[in-house]
Amino acid sequence: MIYSRIAGTGSYLPSRIVKNAEFAQTLDTSDEWIRERTGIAQRHIAEESQTSSDLALEASRAAIQAAGVQAGEVDLIIVATSTPDFIFPSTACLLQAKLGIQDCAAFDLQAVCSGFVYALATADKFIKSGQHKCALVVGAEVFSRILDWTDRGTCVLFGDGAGAVVLRAADSPGIHSSVLRADGRHAGILSVPGNVSRGKIIGSPFLQMAGNQVFKFAVKVLDEVARETLAAAGAGVGDVDWLIPHQANVRILDATARKLGIPAEKVVVTVAHHGNTSAASIPLALDEYVRDGRIKPGHRLLMEGVGGGFTWGAVYATL
């Protein structure tokens, strides 16, 4: 039996930091208002010259180094992003070229904030098929490009960044189980309802969100998919060393943990200094806790995300 294991993690955040006080200069808001409702204190914003593939490149280099592999050993690249460099070619192909890798499979995956979980579960299946041995799985976003900076209900929530893992074939399980779900009936409560046609923007190019509806839906499905994923591995909530949820806002994180019965000290929380980085949020959080020593080899991780589509999913793994 072939399994897959996370061999290395990496992340990258743009150097520009935007604190809540900056929003108070142009919007009817305050640092206190933002912190109270979201738990966010700051976020990183990419420079105009930086693209998702640029952020992905730095995170990928760190993950490849941490895994102790050469870039040429990577035979599969999956990039989860809702903010690709171009309509095409894919951000994964651009990343492949920047890494100097040739011929391996490379493609983008679009599941918004669930993107990394979807990509990790997909790479796991590819490796278990026996056709691939070393996958680079990346979540990379420049959400600052799709925000209406006059809308205090959305622009204060998001940030830019990238996170990556190297997934390698192994004789013992790293990833134990995964569950992916979607329900397109809820597409309208979180979307960017626009596109480009004949050189013009049709619809809106900005993120739109019905916050209260998203909150209720997110907490419900995150609880359900976590339990389903653990059950698929023959595990229970008590087996989880770390819950790594999508870093949407602290209220969703707290509500999800309470519903699952997971104590606060076992919940990975980075939203205060990253903001919501969509598909990048889980690998960013994972890498931070791995590198500072809180997450150690052998720890059992439950990673879960929910995002526009609506999509949601979870992966249960041993590091």
Q: How far is CA 74 from the centre of its chain?
A: 21
Kindly report the CA angle at 281 between 162 and 273, in degrees rounded to 5? 95
246 is a catalytic site residue:
yes
Task: Indicate which residue of 93, 104, 113, 134 is catalytic.
Answer: 113
Which of 93, 134, 155, 276 is flagged as catalytic? 276
Nearest-CA neighbor of 269 among 243, 291, 293?
243
Is 113 a residue of the active site?
yes
154 φ, ψ to 5°?
A: -125, -40
Residue 228's H or E segment, with its range, is helix 211-232
Which of 132, 176, 186, 246 is catalytic? The answer is 246
Do 112 and 189 meet the contact criterion of CB atoms below 8 Å apart? no
Are 214 and 190 in contact by the 8 Å Cβ rule? The answer is yes
CA distance 1 to 23: 53
Spell out the residues 6+ positions from residue 76 whose beta carbon is closer than 8 angstroms to its own.
104, 105, 106, 123, 126, 127, 132, 134, 135, 136
Percent of residues in the chain assigned helix, strand, coil, to nearest 5: 40, 30, 30
Q: Tell me how many helices (H) and strands (E) the chain has.
A: 9, 15
Q: Any idea which residues carry the catalytic annotation?
A: 113, 246, 276
